[in-house]
Amino acid sequence: MKFDKPATRNPIDQLRVVGKPVDRIDGPLKVTGKAIYAYEQNDAAPDAAYGYVLGAAIAKGRIASMALEDARRAPGVLAIVTADNAGKLDRGEFYVARALAGPSVDHYHQAVAVVVAHSFEQARAAAGLIRVEYVREAGAFDLAATRTSAPMAKQGSFGPPPETGLGNFIGAHAAAPLRLDADYSTPDQAHAMMEPHATIAAWDGDKLTLWTAIQQINWGVRDIAKTLGIPKANVRIVSPFIGGGFGGKGTILSDAVMAALAARAARRPVKVTLQRALMFNNVTHRPATIQRLRIGATRDGKITALGHESWSGNLAGGRPESATIQTGVLYAGANRMTRLRLAHLDLPEGGAMRAPGEAPGMMALEIAMDEMAEKLGIDPVEFRILNDTQVDPANPKRPFSRRQLVECLRTGAERFGWSDRPRKPATRREGDWLIGVGVAAAIRGAPIMKCAARVRLNRAGVVTVEMDMTDIGTGSYSIIGQTAAEMMGIGMDKVVVKLGDSRFPESPGSGGQWGAASSTAGVYAACVKLREAVATRFGVAEADARFVDGAVRAGDRIFTLGEAAEAGELVAEDSIEYGDLAKRYVQQTFGAHFVEVAVDAVTGEIRLRRMLAVCAAGRILNPKMARSQVIGGMTMGAGAALMEHLVVDKRIGMFVNHDLAGYEVPVHADIPHQDVIFLDEVDETISPVKAKGVGELGISGVAAAIANAVYNATGVRVRDYPITLDKLLAHLPG
């Protein structure tokens, strides 16, 4: 199916099932422990051995020697794989880090060996007997030290242009009556998902099957085939359930490569999980940024100059953190400039983490907007509204498909009681607590990707959906089921959804906030074909057939849906592809975040008291699951604002706090009541389903809203995240 014109009315618009707060299809499996995750696929791969990954003890250098004799003689050991016996290894197309070190070491905890044994304990004990001699080399581990020398990033397949310009930014900023020029920084952050990176690998001759935790199965097939030098047709990946990803499981990483190599060496299935201490240094993370914001405005609050520069670091060939991406389209302004600079650092690879680009970029931009509003003496909400734009600032002939940022801000301000906020910082107290509120806009792109699906109808009237889409806890099973139910006029009890297998039709997987919109559009396309096949079986025109309550009605004739399959199962498969609508319209999701905090005037302790998100993100397919996605993003934003920080030991190039004891994330006691409001919206330019994603919009802007609330409470402006009490103590009001 080709989608190249805005959608008109179609069966989805009936909203009998779509748009309803349907319970999760996978919920009962998860709460009863019956959802089988990658490391637990024991029935599929019986008698699996265990692999234990040994990580490099240096960040930069080479392996001089490796003594394996004691480890080979250890009880239960079946095989040991190192670069010496692994064979030629390539790299995938998405990540640049090599899965296996040798002879050079590229970053701390890069895998240097995997030991295979009958039990996990035997493999771990044997790995401890390996003696590795390293030759350490000087590395680059300090982003700030590279700021003046970091070159402009190169244009890649993801992210904004490295450099943009419009008008005369330098001249307009210098001439503006009121100006801001400030630096902001965000630290390295970890995905810290509950399920570790885990894989079971099994070979059948030259064919490889991986049961692995991965978000994009099609990327995984491509990348493991390229890494091992085998045909894509020889690879099968299975991933029905994933215990959190947040971008950190986009495609195959070292656990999958090590498992595949180990299984080939041991000649039996092998399961590998990265122990928690390796997850922080061995795989990807959100890289730190240094950002410079320059804003110029007239005295009545109109932005005349807007400049955003960002510095981040990565391994050679890696991507920058695209922190300027939202600045190109969020606010109006005739004179603009953005720049992305990328330093070479010998730290673990920087990669995508929930809302890559917008999440760290908004952490800086939305503080800067508040600082500018204060300089102007304008309410922060009104300042943002004053600089709204309904067209692409760089191309006024290109409108937004839907843009309800102003409505989000106004709705949130009214619901939150914004008019009662302290107008002057550090003026509201409750005992020892200083009280403040803050706001930030939210924006996140609404990409849509080609997606295929297969649907089957049996004589019981049950529709089965098959696609390689994944569910990383977001609710993919349910919204895909709801789409099929709506299209075929049946209840959810008559839908079976099968996901996460590369044998199924190809989807774009979970990531980039494209999963919901893309996967449901693929199901829509397949169901259109199935409806046509059903109508043909009954000898009626599809346009005249109504699919309602498990029956097909055409004039005076009524058939049950199952009757269409009495002569044999009906199978339909199709994909949806897109024209140029994304070029003709700016497709984004929008929101506004409001936060109230209390700060202890003596200790600087920060407590969140209230949080509100107002979102405009196309048709909401399931408000219960959409709310869960947004409050999850809000919680991650709270972590980014107040505690999350991978601390770099700049002497040896490692993240020191590489476990969940040292890397702090929010817990229940840290998070207050959270409200979420979805504005009514459909976007006909996205797909026939008219839905966008929402999972990453929920984090964009949250940290800045918290930072602005802390300033409102204390009068202390912190531009260096996370906002910890040591950054407040010396400046708190008496």
Q: What is the pLDDT of residues 278-315, one digit of tens each?
A: 999 999 999 999 999 999 999 999 999 999 999 999 99
615 falls within a domain: yes
Q: What amino acid is encoded at 19 in this protein?
A: G
Contact 312, 285 (CB under 8 A): no
Residue 69 phi/psi, 5-degree rounding, is: -60, -45
Query: Is the peptide bond prior to 103 cis by the omega test (within 30 degrees of 0)?
Result: yes
Quick one: 43 exposed, middle or buried, by C-beta within 10 A (0-12, 13-18, 19+)?
Answer: exposed
- Same-domain check for residues 524 and 403: no
Contact 532, 494 (CB under 8 A): no
Closest CA to 535 of 454, 457, 453: 457
Active-site annotation holds for 696: yes
- Same-domain check for residues 456 and 555: yes
- Same-domain check for residues 513 and 627: no
What local confidence, expressed as pLDDT, does residue 676 receive? 98
CATH number at residue 651: 3.30.365.10
What's the domain count of the chain? 3
**Residue that the structure tokens 């005249």 belong to:** 544
- Same-domain check for residues 539 and 598: no
What local confidence, expressed as pLDDT, does residue 121 receive? 98
351 falls within a domain: no
Q: How far apart are the first and last CA of the chain?
A: 66
**Residue that the structure tokens 């008219």 belong to:** 690
313 falls within a domain: no
DSSP structure string for 41-98: -TTTSTT-EEEEEEEPS-SSEEEEEEE-HHHHHSTTEEEEE-TTTS------SS--S-
d(CA 13, CA 6): 14
Contact 593, 440 (CB under 8 A): yes
What is the chain's alpha carbon radius of gyration, rounded to the nearest angstrom? Answer: 27
- Same-domain check for residues 610 and 694: yes
- Same-domain check for residues 227 and 134: yes
- Same-domain check for residues 592 and 712: yes
Altogether, the residues listed in the chain come to a count of 734
- Same-domain check for residues 257 and 116: yes
Separation in Å, CA 216 to CA 2, 72, 409, 482: 23, 36, 34, 22
Contact 315, 390 (CB under 8 A): no
d(CA 572, CA 454): 6
489 falls within a domain: yes
Closest CA to 619 of 651, 643, 592, 589: 589
What local confidence, expressed as pLDDT, does residue 734 receive? 79
What local confidence, expressed as pLDDT, does residue 621 receive? 98
What local confidence, expressed as pLDDT, does residue 527 receive? 98
Q: Identify the active-site residue in 486, 506, 596, 696.
A: 696
- Same-domain check for residues 406 and 260: no
Residue 475 region by backbone torsions, left for phi larger than 0, else alpha for psi between -120 and 50, else beta? left
Q: Helix %, strand %, coil % for the chain, to 5?
A: 30, 30, 45
- Same-domain check for residues 638 and 734: yes
What local confidence, expressed as pLDDT, does residue 658 receive? 96
CATH number at residue 222: 3.90.1170.50
- Same-domain check for residues 553 and 631: no
> How many other CB atoms sit within 10 Å of the CB of residue 580?
8
Q: What is the pLDDT of residues 127-163, one digit of tens each?
A: 999 999 999 999 999 999 999 999 999 998 888 999 9
Mean pLDDT on 334-354:
98
Tell me the residue range of the domain where 491 lies. Answer: 2-35+449-580
pLDDT band for position 600 (50/70/90)?
very high
d(CA 192, CA 155): 29
310 falls within a domain: no
What local confidence, expressed as pLDDT, does residue 505 receive? 98
Of 580, 604, 626, the last residue of a domain is 580
102 falls within a domain: yes
pLDDT band for position 684 (50/70/90)?
very high
What local confidence, expressed as pLDDT, does residue 157 receive? 83
d(CA 237, CA 216): 10
441 falls within a domain: yes
Q: Which two tokens stand for residue 685?
A: 């330019």
- Same-domain check for residues 557 and 704: no
pLDDT band for position 199 (50/70/90)?
very high
> How many other CB atoms sit within 10 Å of the CB of residue 194?
8
Of 522, 550, 580, the last residue of a domain is 580
108 falls within a domain: yes
Closest CA to 30 of 466, 473, 465: 473
Percent of the chain with pLDDT over 90: 99
Q: What is the pLDDT of residues 615-656, one digit of tens each?
A: 999 999 999 999 999 999 999 999 999 999 999 999 999 999
Mean pLDDT on 559-588:
97
Q: What is the pLDDT of residues 24-59, one digit of tens each?
A: 999 999 999 999 999 999 999 999 999 999 999 999
Closest CA to 36 of 253, 238, 210: 238
Residue 712 phi/psi, 5-degree rounding, is: -60, -35
d(CA 642, CA 725): 9
What local confidence, expressed as pLDDT, does residue 590 receive? 98
Percent of the chain with pLDDT over 70: 100
13 DSSP assignment: G
Of 580, 595, 629, the last residue of a domain is 580
